[in-house]
Structure 1
Amino acid sequence: MGEIIELTAADGHKLNAYKATPTATAKGGVVILQEIFGVNSHIKNVCDGYAKQGYVAIAPALFDRVAPNITLAYEQDDIQQGLGYMKKVDSDDALKDIDAAAKLLADAGNVAVIGYCWGGSLAYLAACRLPSIDKAVGYYGGQIPQTIEEEPKVPIILHFGDKDASIPMSAVEDVKTRRPDIPVYVYPAGHGFNCDHRGSYDAESAHLALERTLEFIG
């Protein structure tokens, strides 16, 4: 279902991306934003899933600016590697790459950004800064509380787990207090609950979050 394509950002940077296309006429486009583990098999599966739901899905390889073709698993060493790569990527540069994917999807209809972990934080920034997207969805974005002063320019919803060791509920409550206009959904789950490659995967929470996301993006 999917293929590797090349995107060109506004600053001329070229990066790989995974693209999955539905078999019928597209309902719209989604930009899938990776965790700290690169565009790995899980992120490709997420794209394939959205394609089955009728969306053209593109996952830009946001680590390509510091190292090409990074795909990591979910062991402790992978986490440390992924954090290291993430810290080397400037958020403004990542947004350029996200923008390139969104613009490529413009012909598919409305474009939503859907991000997980680091990608969830970037989805919030994309909602605030990118005119090329129409909606945004953030899953357990740990940096969202630090950028909550920025105001989203497009509708956005957020998903968090109440057992997330890296995002305390006090931070989630702060987001809800400071942005009461944003729907914030909290699940009885930990960080990464949407990823069926991780021990923290929670099938019931992942299914409900997906239902809400699909209803939201239309």
Structure 2
Amino acid sequence: MGQFVNLTSQDGFVVPAWVAQPDGAPQGAVVVLQEIFGVNSHIRAVADRLAARGYFAVAPATFARVRPDVELGYSEADMREGSGLKAAVEALPGDGVLPDIQAAIDLAAERSGAKVGIVGFCWGGLLTWRSACSLRGLSAAVCYYGGGMTSPDEVARQPLVPVLAHFGQR
């Protein structure tokens, strides 16, 4: 249903993103933020399911600034690799990957002509929280088990849009 496209961030960086479009006019748009496994089959399927329900969906590759074309599975080795990539992205100067997420929000608004929400899983949940607190063009945010969201620095942030955060215990 979807396909990869290239987005251009405010600083000129080209970030790949999975884009899934509904059959008819979009009833809204959703930016989907990856876990530490890249824009893998799970994240693409989430975007495709949203499109099947009438939403324009875009999933930017938030590892692209440190390594392109990351698609990991869920093995211990993949988890270690993904954690290392996350650490490299978190160490980026300035706003890190937030400009890439802003480019996805801008594309979603332009292509859908509708309100834009954002959803993220694990590390993507943390990036969703940060996006809700600092980026323009969002109407709502949903974080699933946002790793690191409860640290004092993150709790001190103030969201600009309504946020729904899901957490659980093992």
Normalised-by-shorter TM-score class: over 0.9
How far, CA to CA, are the matches of 1:93 and 1:32 in structure 2? 17
RMSD of the alignment, in Å? Answer: 1.0
* 2: CA distance, partners of 1:135 / 1:42: 22
* 2:146 paired with 1:115: no
Matches within 5 A, 1:24-35: 24-35=24-35
2:165 pairs, out of 158, 175, 191, with 158
Counterpart mapping for 1:95-114 below 5 A: 95-107=98-110, 108=112, 109-114=114-119
In structure 2, C-alpha distance between the alignment counterparts of 1:151 and 1:117, rounded to whole Å: 19
Q: Secondary structure at the match of 1:5?
A: strand
Partners of 1:95 and 1:134 lie apart in 2 by 17
**Equivalent residue in structure 2 for 1:137, among 110, 135, 142:** 142
Asked if 1:149 corresponds to 2:156, the answer is: yes
SS at match of 2:84: helix
Q: Percent identity?
A: 44
Structure with the bigger RCO (C-alpha within 8 Å, sep 6+) is: 2
The secondary structure found in structure 2 opposite 1:35 is coil
Could you list the per-position Cα deviations for residues 188-214 of structure 1 after superposition, in whole angstroms to 9, with x for gaps in the alignment? Answer: xxxxxxxxxxxxxxxxxxxxxxxxxxx
Provide the secondary structure at the position in 2 that maps to 1:136. Answer: strand
Structure-1 separation of matches of 2:44 and 2:38: 10
What SS does structure 1 have at the residue aligned with 2:64? helix
Aligned pairs, number: 163
TM score, norm. by length of structure 2: 0.93
Query: Which deviates the most, 129-138 or 32-41?
Result: 129-138
Q: Which has the higher helix share?
A: 1
Counterpart amino acid of residue 18 in structure 1: W
3-state SS of 1:93 partner: coil
Give the Å deviation of 1:80: 0.2
Q: Which residue is equivalent to 2:23?
A: 23
After TM superposition, the structure 1 = structure 2 runs for residues 33-112 of structure 1, keeping only pairs within 5 Å, are: 33-90=33-90, 92-107=95-110, 108=112, 109-112=114-117
Task: Give the drift of 1:113.
Answer: 0.8
Letter matched to residue 55 of structure 2: Y
Task: Tell me the CA shift for residue 62 of structure 1.
Answer: 0.6
Question: Shift in Å at residue 162 of structure 1?
Answer: 2.1
Counterpart-to-counterpart distance in 1, 2:29 and 2:108:
5
2:104 counterpart SS class:
helix
Aligned to 1:202: none
Q: Which runs of 4+ in 1 moved over 4 A?
A: none
The corresponding residue for 1:4 is 4
Higher Rg: 1
TM-score, normalised to structure 1, is 0.73
Aligned equivalents of 1:142, 1:59: Cα separation in 2? 19
Distance apart, 1:137 and its partner CA: 0.5
Any idea what SS the aligned residue of 1:29 has? strand
